[in-house]
Structure 1
Amino acid sequence: MALGTPERDRLIRVAQTGDPVAIDRLLAACQPDARRYAHRHCHASDVDDAVQESLLIVARKVGGLKAAAAFASWLFVVIRRECRRLSRLMLRHDPLTDELAEALMLARPDESLRIDLASALESLPPHYLEVVLLRDFEELTIAEIAARLGEQPGAVKSRLHRARELVREYMLGPR
């Protein structure tokens, strides 16, 4: 949190009384730290959901926090639990085989498929969209993309793989 310790502790104590303005300020102040922590503990596709759910939990339960000094560690525990919960949800379904996924795609009308693909690409975080566009639309090689982005080829391949997985999840997910 960007606030100094005395100011942060005072804000936490006021938020514990249920003051909505203090709660909003507290959530805004801790959101950057929450995002950084979630990036380390969640799948990339779960970060936004984990942060949002965690901050909702904090807003509801901050009144039960015993000591303002324990806020940061409590926040990180809440985020870590939310990341684990989202990860377990992701693993509950059986992955589709490539053949079944292809059959599901081929069964859809072309216009519907185009619209969903555009929506899937729009839903990607910018760093994933960038590699997909460079590889699949500009038809650059992995080495060319790595040179353009100033990154290692392995990092580019990993990001491209994850981006394609996110598009696949979006396209085959529940409607």
Structure 2
Amino acid sequence: MTPSSAMEAFARMLRALANGHGPSDNAPAYLAVSVRNLAARHGRRLGHRHAPATADDRTLHTVPDPGQGVDHAVLTEEARRDLLDALGALHPSWREVPLLTHVEELSVAEAAARLGITPGAVSALSYRGRRALRRAYLDRTPA
């Protein structure tokens, strides 16, 4: 699993939830299947002979739901708060680019036009923003 496939899976799940879709329970299993599918797609694009097959919706629905423990709501709220705090700690331009490219699904060229910067600058801001978000989130979460 690459960090970018995990981030892409998470961004897709957030978009799905915002549109009234996505998981209604067992979000970790949903994310795991999404990451696997993205990694498989990436492997096929690169021509890897042993890229795993993607899971279809039937497979996703057969993943057993471990049920929510007593601490689930507390942990979910804590993770949400940590993520929002990490996002808030980012430089505004590092927040803007992922919102445009991942949430609004603009291409790099469209995001560059909207921000009035070059596509290369958008890519650089995106990379730096992802690294800073990862660092800020990990700094806020226990080891």
TM-score, normalised via structure 1 length: 0.37
Larger Rg: 1
TM-score by length of 2: 0.44
Higher helix content, 1 or 2: 1
